[in-house]
Amino acid sequence: MSLVIDLAEAALYSCIGIVLMALGNFLIDLIIPCSFPEEIKKGNKAVGFVSAGTNISGGIILRAAVASPEAEDALDAALATGIVSSLLYFVAGILFFMLGYIVIDKINRQYRLSEEIGKGNTAAGIMVAGIFIGLSAVISGVII
């Protein structure tokens, strides 16, 4: 492919990535009962780590979706097919992040992750980011 086409595809997928990462943060914010924007304004590092974990993990999944053999075949057939598969993988990933968070929160009886994150417990934020990044590694492995 020519450089211009590659740059156009990179720009397109980057724009899609930005929108999906914002959507991912919104959806994760729904299961953690504190307002991410308000907590970020207050300097809540735990929420910052959760948000960073969501973005990194979403990027890992999107990268795997774009690099998958199906995506390369789709680029030959139609760019729209590659975009749709990327969207589906991303949404599935966010749903698994949410499920992983809920399961870990329910299994653990020593503390409530939502409360700890809301209080700014950095360790809780890093733990949740780790859950998301770990799940994204698994999901991306399945995609590629």
C-alpha 69/C-alpha 73 separation (Å) is: 6
Copy the structure tokens of residue 14: 């980057």
Angle between helices 79-107 and 45-67 (to 10 degrees): 140
pLDDT of residue 76: 54
pLDDT for residue 70 = 64
Q: What is the pLDDT of residues 13-68, one digit of tens each?
A: 899 999 999 999 999 999 998 999 999 999 999 999 999 999 999 999 999 988 87
**Lowest mean pLDDT segment, chosen from 74-78, 81-85, 100-104, 133-137:** 74-78
3-state secondary structure 76-140: HHCHHHHHHHHHHHHHHHHHHHHHHHHHHHHHCCCCCHHHHHHCCCHHHHHHHHHHHHHHHHHHH
Tell me: pLDDT of 140 over 90.
Answer: yes
The CA-based dihedral angle spanning residues 48, 46, 44, 118, taken in that order and rounded to the nearest 10 degrees? 130
pLDDT grade, residue 134 (50/70/90)? Answer: very high
pLDDT of residue 80: 78
Query: Is residue 71's pLDDT more than 70?
Result: no
User: Could you tell me the sign of the dihedral formed by the alpha carbons of 136, 141, 142, 144, in that order?
Assistant: positive
- Take residue 87 and report the two structure tokens written for it: 């969207």
* Ranges of each domain in the chain: 3-143
pLDDT over 60 (residue 75): no
Q: Which residue has the higher pLDDT, 38 or 69?
A: 38
Residue 25's pLDDT is: 94
How far apart are the C-alpha atoms of 116 and 114, rounded to whole Å?
A: 6
| Tens-digit pLDDT profile for residues 89-129 | 999 999 999 999 999 999 988 999 999 999 999 999 999 99
